[in-house]
Amino acid sequence: MPTAPLCAVPGSGSGSAASHAPIRVVLADDHAFLRHSLRQLLDRETEFEVVAEAGDNSTALQQVCDHHPHVLVLDVDMPGSARLTAVRQIRSAAPATTIVVTTMTDEPRFAREAIAAGASGYVLKDSADQDLPEAVRRAAKGESFIAPEVASRLTIHAARGEDTLSERELEVLRLIALGYTNAEIGQTLEISIRTVETHRAHIHRKLGLSTRAELVRYALRRGLLHDAVRHDGAR
């Protein structure tokens, strides 16, 4: 799936669903039978309007650009691009459309990565009949939803401290998000480059995030950059 250009912004119909209007949905899954089942599930609810379907990532992007839905229900296991690449590209091209991903993967780390990539909802296909309508409702309101069986494991991991960053790791994360290199981080914090690399490895492992872009989004959500003022030549 190539880099996606920004979808044309319509005069109306995008953004959060108004309380009196149906929630417009595009369904994307490469299995036609499952896609049909999901459509039947949503069609039973009068508050939803499935405006288009897609069987691959490129078509999903095109349908989003053509129909400007409030929510895209996206199978993240479709062939054609690396997992979560489509989430990032579609969110970049159509920021007014929120994304609920469907998957067979119940690993908490992948759920974190999906949310960091830009998804608002994380639904397991095995429980889509119970969870998908609520996930779509929340996504349309700008809220998040994670399958309960995955969310409970995320909570357990956090309680064990597996996702908790130390103060020094938070400092390193903040500088990473601001664009500092390992050498610049070491100089700023007066630690060795090897120590910086160790902190980075711990940050990636604890958060389950693999790219700098995902770390930046995490730092923004945590408010780590709110007080950061960068001046030209400050680094």
Domain boundaries for CATH 3.40.50.2300 within the chain: 23-156
pLDDT of residue 115 exceeding 80: yes
pLDDT of residue 177 exceeding 50: yes
Q: Could you give the percent of the chain with pLDDT greater than 70?
A: 82
46 Cβ contact partners less than 8 Å away, ≥ 6 residues apart: 22
- The CATH code that applies to domain 23-156 is 3.40.50.2300
Measure the CA–CA gap between 91 and 95, rounded to whole angstroms.
5
DSSP 8-state assignment for residue 215? H
Domain boundaries for CATH 1.10.10.10 within the chain: 167-222
pLDDT of residue 13 exceeding 90: no
Q: So what's the architecture of 167-222 in CATH?
A: Orthogonal Bundle (1.10)
The tokens for 97 are 């459309």
pLDDT of residue 163 exceeding 90: no
Measure the CA–CA gap between 17 and 36, rounded to whole angstroms.
23
The tokens for 201 are 């490895």
Strand (E) positions, the chain? 23-28, 48-54, 71-75, 98-103, 121-124, 145-146
The HSE-up count of residue 99 (CA atoms within 13 Å, CB side) is: 29
